[in-house]
Structure formats: structure tokens, C-alpha cells
């Protein structure tokens, strides 16, 4: 997967992507380099759609690239681990106020999501954009394998129950996602419930 509009990203983002490529554990089958690039590409599309001001756009791109950096260390409290790791790097290019905005956006991806401003809403929606896309099954398959590795789920029944509950409790925040992602997500909930019911009949 290629990073769209690469020239718009600070050089630091390319360094972060390189570190992710080298350092993310092999057992991560969803929280991969490709996931980070996907979130960044979706975020970039939001920036263009909403005509986000240049400096805010820079901060959003940094947050998108860095939001899962903590997975290099552990999935536990990975948002805070991301923030801590970036705290050693970001002061070289951002002010303390800008870093606070980036940190807020990273925290906004924590599930359940509670964004507090428009930039945080965009990052939150970008992170879970796949929930309302046609590649949901492919990407969620990677998450299923990852959850199995961490013993979060042990079988299809547990996985479907977890996904149905997650999708029903999740909500998109931006008008774009509500219009263009929510309908497919609602359809996916119906499909998952049908799969779950079919398993009960076996």
C-alpha cells in the first residue's frame, strides 16, 4: 500500500513509517504498517474534503502516522505508549501546544472513542473507516487472527459476538463518515447476525 500525497508529510513521518516497518511484531495481522498507511490515506482524504488549514493538516498527518506506534512495545495502553514514544521526537519540529493537539488526536482513537474536537473526530473516523467499507471482511479477518494470538477470542462464535457488539456500540463522528460509511456498517451488522444465527443452527 502506498502513502498518498507523500510530499505533504513531514520527513519525520517517513522516519516513523520506517521504524514501524522494521519494528512491529510479526504476529500483528491487523495493526500493521499497512493499517497505519490506510489510516493516513483516509485522513488525507478528509483533509482534502474539508479543506483543512495547512498546519492543522500537518498535525493530523503526524497523528495518523503515529497513532499506533505504541504497538511496537505492547497492545496494552498503546495510545499512551505512542504518545510517550513520540514525546522524544516531536519537540524537534512542533511546539508544546501542537504536541498537545497531536496527543489529543492519538487518544481519540482509543476505543470507545470520545473525540473532543473536529480534528479528533476525523482521526477517530479514519482509524475505523474500514467498518463501513467493502474490504471489511478482509481487514477484520486480520484482526480476528490478532485477537486469537492474544487469547481475546477462541472461536468464530466469540468473534462474531464481539464484532456485533462492537459495531452496534460504535458511531461515526463526521458528516462524511455518517453519510458514506454508516450505511455499509449497518448492513454488515445484519450480515454478522445472520452468520451468528447460522452457527447456532449447525
pTM of the model: 0.97
Looking at residues 99-114, what average pLDDT do you find?
98
> Does the residue 184 lie in any domain?
yes
Per-residue pLDDT at 200: 86
Domains in the chain, number: 1
**Contact call for residues 75 and 150 (beta carbons, < 8 A):** yes
- Is 1 domain-assigned? no
| 57 is a domain residue | yes
Closest to 160 measured CA to CA, from 186, 189, 185: 189
| pLDDT at residue 201, rounded to an integer | 83
pLDDT of residue 15: 97
Q: What is the CATH number of the domain that holds 157?
A: 1.10.3210.10
Q: Which domain holds residue 72?
A: 6-200
Q: Which of 69, 97, 89 is nearest to 12 (CA)?
A: 89
Residue 195 belongs to a domain: yes
Q: Is the pLDDT of residue 21 over 90?
A: yes
Does residue 127 lie in a domain region? yes
Q: 126 and 65 in contact (C-beta within 8 Å)?
A: no
- Give domain status of residue 144, yes or no: yes
Task: Residue 147: count other Cβ atoms within 10 Å of its Cβ.
Answer: 19
Question: What percent of the chain has pLDDT above 90?
Answer: 98
Tell me: the pLDDT tens digits for 151-164? Answer: 999 999 999 999 99
Amino acid at each position: 500500500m502506498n502513502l498518498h500525497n507523500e510530499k505533504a508529510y513531514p520527513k519525520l513521518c517517513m522516519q516513523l513509517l520506517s521504524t514501524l516497518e522494521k519494528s512491529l511484531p510479526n504476529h500483528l495481522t491487523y495493526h500493521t504498517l499497512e493499517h497505519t498507511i490506510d489510516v493516513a490515506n483516509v485522513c488525507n482524504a478528509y483533509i482534502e474534503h474539508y479543506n483543512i488549514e495547512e498546519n492543522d493538516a500537518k498535525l493530523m498527518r503526524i497523528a495518523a502516522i503515529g497513532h499506533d506506534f505504541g504497538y511496537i512495545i505492547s497492545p496494552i495502553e498503546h495510545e499512551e505508549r505512542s504518545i510517550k514514544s513520540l514525546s522524544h521526537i516531536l519537540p524537534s519540529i512542533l511546539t508544546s501546544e501542537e504536541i498537545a493537539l497531536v496527543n489529543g488526536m492519538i487518544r481519540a482513537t482509543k476505543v470507545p472513542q470520545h473525540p473532543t474536537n473536529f480534528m479528533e473526530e476525523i482521526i477517530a473516523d479514519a482509524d475505523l473507516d474500514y467498518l463501513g467499507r467493502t474490504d471489511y471482511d478482509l481487514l477484520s479477518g486480520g484482526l480476528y487472527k490478532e485477537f486469537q494470538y492474544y487469547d481475546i477470542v477462541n472461536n468464530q462464535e466469540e468473534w462474531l459476538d464481539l464484532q456485533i457488539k462492537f459495531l452496534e456500540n460504535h458511531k461515526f463522528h463526521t458528516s462524511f463518515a455518517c453519510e458514506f460509511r454508516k450505511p455499509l456498517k449497518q448492513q454488515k451488522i445484519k450480515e454478522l447476525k445472520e452468520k451468528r444465527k447460522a452457527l447456532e443452527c449447525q
